[in-house]
Amino acid sequence: MATINDRVPVSNIKKIAVLTGGGDCPGLNAVIRAVVKDAINCGIEVYGIEDGFLGLIEDRIRPLSLDDVSNILTQGGTILGSNNRSNPQNYPVGEDKDGNIIYKDLTDVCVTHLQIRKIEALIVIGGDGTMSVAKPIADKGFNCIGVPKTIDNDLYGTDITFGFQTAVHVATEALDRVHSTAASHHRVMVVELMGRNAGWITLHAGIASGADVILIPEIEFDLDKISEYCLWRSQRGKRFTIIAVSEGARPKGGKQIVDRVVEKSPDPIRLGGVAKWLATEIEERTEIESRYVVLGHTQRGGTPTAGDRILATQFGHHAMQLLKMGKNNRLVVMQGGVLGDVDINSAADKQRLVPSSHPLITAARSVYTSFGD
């Protein structure tokens, strides 16, 4: 991992652009604010690309001023808009006579739209999907600087992404609230959390809330063992059982539960439904009343926590530092508490998953938390 000092020479770069790819995430506006203010302070013009790579394809690019980023630090979402369905390398442009979708590579179109405005570098804020989509543009010789964003915390190469802390806070608060209703009605409560194929949110929120069972994609669970655990708690006089389950969790030998498939999306699989399935199966096996809650997009919305605002500001500033140093195609990362950078292509098409030997898993097991295995 490369690191840089805070005092860096200013390169000859004059114009940059910034976009927010993938889903919305708390802290996006904090990054945009840091980039715009830092750049303008150095005499660099900044352009904002609306709705992620879709805006780059459609040439919806506008100048950003200090007024545009005033008072946005605490706002959730992104003032530029985002999009998680548009991949310039494989963009749907119509259908053939048989109704099959026709795809076309519009990477050159995107580069042309940047070149027309004499934009010299592109700051892409996003997760692994965004970095994968940025790779062909970087391969064309256009400088892309990546900023790691995702509530899932699954971007390869960095210990943490902004948005994750807010998602954990929201999920923990929801799990805390579920405790009271579960205890009142002697229920098993199953709470489904986001995370796709990574269990970081569920692991952290589950531990923070004292969940009795934590189910993550990295550890396949045994439904019989979970049911036995719920019965054991009930027989010991425990009034309820709280289960925190990641949307990507799966039973041993089974598959993830898919809610739907979005054909035109670069990431077409939409997970969901595991909490409902679990609650139904547990009630049938134990005869303990079981209910489920799906937090869904509430984990991605609202005001970012102080930690995410600080981290996002650091990431935005560091992205500008890299540009000033004349660095090309780098991804801002945090490793061991230290800001640095890695090759942006190193994060493309990869996911950072929870290792089974992670210290948090060991700590949770030591306080009788079950992982269903």
Of 320, 279, 356, nearest in space to 123 by CA: 320
The pLDDT of residue 11 is 66
Q: Is 327 helix (H, G, I), strand (E, B) or coil?
A: coil
Enumerate the CATH 3.40.50.460 domain ranges in the chain, comma separated.
167-299
Amino acid (one-letter) located at 121: A
Please indicate, yes or no, whether the overall pTM of this predicted structure exceeds 0.85. yes
Cα angle 362-258-264, degrees, rounded to a multiple of 5: 120
- Residues tagged active-site: 152
pLDDT tens digits along 196-215: 999 999 999 999 999 999 99
The proportion of the chain whose per-residue pLDDT surpasses 70, expressed as a percent, equals 96
Enumerate the CATH 3.40.50.450 domain ranges in the chain, comma separated.
15-162+304-347
The pLDDT of residue 6 is 46
pLDDT tens digits along 103-151: 999 999 999 999 999 999 999 999 888 888 999 999 999 999 999 999 9
Cα separations (Å) of 96 from 90, 212, 262, 318? Answer: 16, 53, 19, 46
Q: Which two tokens stand for residue 106?
A: 């519009």
Confidence check: pLDDT of 236 > 90: no
Tell me the CATH architecture of domain 15-162+304-347.
Answer: 3-Layer(aba) Sandwich (3.40)
Name the band, by pLDDT with cuts 50, 70 and 90, for residue 7. Answer: very low
Q: How many CB atoms lie within 10 A of CB 116?
A: 10
Helix, strand, coil share (%) of the chain residues, nearest 5: 40, 20, 40
- What is the rounded CA–CA span in Å between residue 131 and residue 350? 10
Is residue 246 exposed (0-12), middle (13-18) or buried (19+ Cβ within 10 Å)? buried
Amino acid (one-letter) located at 44: I
- Cβ contacts of 181 within 8 Å, gap of 6 or more: 187, 189
Q: Look at the chain and count its residues.
A: 373
The pLDDT of residue 2 is 63
- What is the rounded CA–CA span in Å between residue 305 and residue 76? 10
125 and 318 Cβ atoms separated by less than 8 Å: no
How much is the CA Rg of the chain, to the nearest whole Å?
A: 22
Q: Is 31 helix (H, G, I), strand (E, B) or coil?
A: helix
pLDDT tens digits along 307-318: 999 999 999 999
The pLDDT of residue 8 is 47
DSSP codes joined into one string, 153-172 = ---TT-S--BTHHHHHHHHH
Correct CATH for 167-299 of 3.30.710.10, 3.40.50.360, 3.40.50.980, 3.40.50.460: 3.40.50.460
User: Most confidently modeled of 28-32, 134-138, 230-234?
Assistant: 28-32
